[in-house]
Amino acid sequence: MNALELAGVSKAYGSVRAVDAVDLGIATGSLMAVVGPSGSGKTTLLRLIAGFETPDAGTIRLGGEPLFDGATAVPPHRRNIGYVPQEGALFPHLSAADNIAFGLRADRRTRTRRVDELLEIVELDRALRERRPHELSGGQQQRVALARALAQQPRLMLLDEPFSALDAGLRASTRRAVARMLRGVGMTSILVTHDQAEALTFGDQLAVMRAGRVVQSGAPIDLYRRPLDEATALFLGEAIVLDAHMVDGRADCALGRLAVDDETKSGAVRVLLRPWQLTVAATAAGDAPGRGFVTAREFNGESVLLRVTIADGPGGRALPAPLVIDVPAVAGAEPAIGASVQVGTRGVAHVLARPSG
């Protein structure tokens, strides 16, 4: 059963359609990441769910109850939705404990017990309870903000790029910890982010937004392996997209004949490979598909980036740009600049379902 249901939700600011006819369902107890480039409408969508903005059209239901349906518009303070903003927005003059307890209606003993419970949930030492926000690290501040939102026992948690101000290492560890905490309490949650790695690793569901629309949603692994179009494929990670021609359930391209995940297609198609699917082997010069020449090398410690220009051999199609291939840095084994190599593939290529747009 879905905890949250959006149907035909739209919002325009003048002539700009920030959110355009969005349909989306979020399963009870699941974590969803909404990802998209700047200006894609993801933050506006979050604000519409929270009630900070009013849709122009559509319906929003939480637990089967309407939050907005044209006739009904429940105000933000009555939606029982937790919200963690980008900067945490803690009160600087209050301690961590008082920030968490802000808004709790209970006697002092009950408030103290509840704060201690929440500190344990968000994995913060009770010794930090009397510290002011400026005495906490960025990751600790975000956990206090999460605890404050959880204190109200919301039906839904919204997180608006809460890790963006943290450095890379702290960002990853805090994201993992927050996801673990939310799963631990069974909290249905939505994370908005522009970081593809963050979106792929945060939750059970992923929605990709572009130009105000949800262009694809589903399990993160499915979107990464089987994106609908080239723009989504490239947005979710490094990708090699090739022109190909389907023959007998296989795709003929510049790298030769590839196995694909949709053998029903025929004629001209575009196929997707991820960089880990490419292999490089030293070979004598030749004109078979996948043969090429190393034109540049870049040492990166544990690996070497090779730039390989593919030759236009029989049955192959010349590539407009060199391939960049990451290979293990094994002393003396990396092909030299100018070396002839054979680029192969592993696994199956994904046939893109539709053009970009």
67 and 181: one domain?
yes
Closest CA to 245 of 257, 230, 233, 228: 257
Are residues 279 and 142 part of one domain? no
Closest CA relative to residue 22, chosen from 14, 10, 39 = 10
Same domain, 103 and 127: yes
Q: Given this model, what pLDDT does residue 232 score?
A: 95
Beta strands in the chain (DSSP E): 2-13, 16-27, 31-35, 57-62, 65-68, 81-84, 156-160, 189-193, 205-210, 213-218, 240-247, 250-253, 256-259, 267-273, 278-282, 291-299, 303-310, 323-328, 340-345, 350-351
Residue that finishes a domain, picked among 202, 232, 262: 232
* Nearest CA among 351, 350, 347 for reference residue 277: 347
Q: Do 217 and 315 share a domain, yes or no?
A: no
pLDDT in tens, 194-239: 999 899 999 899 999 999 999 999 999 999 999 999 999 999 998 9
- CB atoms near residue 45 (< 10 Å): 28
- Distance from C-alpha of 327 to C-alpha of 79, rounded to nearest angstrom: 51
Residue 193: beta bridge partners? Answer: 35
Q: Are residues 203 and 330 in the same domain?
A: no
Tens digit of pLDDT for each residue in 13-40?
999 999 999 999 999 999 999 999 999 9
**Is the pLDDT reported for residue 42 higher than 90?**
yes
Is a pLDDT exceeding 60 seen at residue 314?
no
Q: What is the pLDDT at residue 147?
A: 85
How are beta strands 240-247 and 250-253 bridged, if at all? antiparallel
Q: Is residue 274 part of a domain?
A: yes
- The structure's pTM equals 0.85
Which of these three, 207, 232, 257, is where a domain ends?
Answer: 232
Segment holding 231, helix H or strand E: helix 230-235
Q: What are the tokens at 128?
A: 């930090």
68-99 exposure pattern, b = at least 16 Cβ within 10 A, e = fewer: beeeeebeeeebebbbbeeebebeeeebbbbb
Exposure b/e, 172-192, CB count within 10 A at least 16 = b: eebbebbbebbeeeebbbbbb
pLDDT at 251: 93
Q: How many domains does the chain have?
A: 2
Instruction: Please tell me the distance from the alpha carbon of residue 5 to that of residue 320, in angstroms, as a whole number.
Output: 44
**Which residues make Cβ contacts (< 8 Å) with residue 56, sequence separation at least 6?**
10, 11, 12
**CATH number assigned to the domain comprising residue 246:** 2.40.50.140
Residue 356 lies in a domain: no
Query: What mean pLDDT is predicted for residues 6-12?
Result: 97
Strand partners of residue 273: 240
Say if residues 257 and 251 touch (Cβ distance below 8 Å): yes
Coil, strand or helix at 37: coil
**What is the rounded average pLDDT of the residues 84-104?**
83
Among residues 206, 232, 258, the one where a domain terminates is 232
Does residue 247 lie in a domain region?
yes
Here the CATH number for the domain that contains residue 122 is 3.40.50.300
Domain-located, residue 20: yes
pLDDT, tens only, 319-341: 778 888 888 777 666 788 988 89
Residues 181 and 276 both lie in one domain: no
**Could you identify the residue written with the tokens 């949930």?**
121
Co-location of 107 and 220 in the same domain: yes
**Same domain as 218, residue 131:** yes
* Res 317 pLDDT > 60: no
Asked if residue 357 belongs to a domain, the reply is no
Query: Are residue 146 and residue 250 in the same domain, yes or no?
Result: no
CB 295 within 8 A of CB 335: no
Interval 250-280: pLDDT, tens? 999 989 899 999 988 889 999 999 988 998 9
Same domain as 44, residue 184: yes
Q: How far is CA 117 from CA 54, 71, 114, 185, 209, in A?
A: 35, 39, 5, 12, 36
Same domain, 286 and 163: no
Banded pLDDT at 312 (limits 50, 70, 90): low
End-to-end CA distance of the chain: 31
Sign of CA dihedral 161, 198, 13, 6: negative
Q: Name the residue range of residue 157's domain.
A: 2-232
Alpha-carbon gap, residue 201 to 219, rounded angstroms: 11
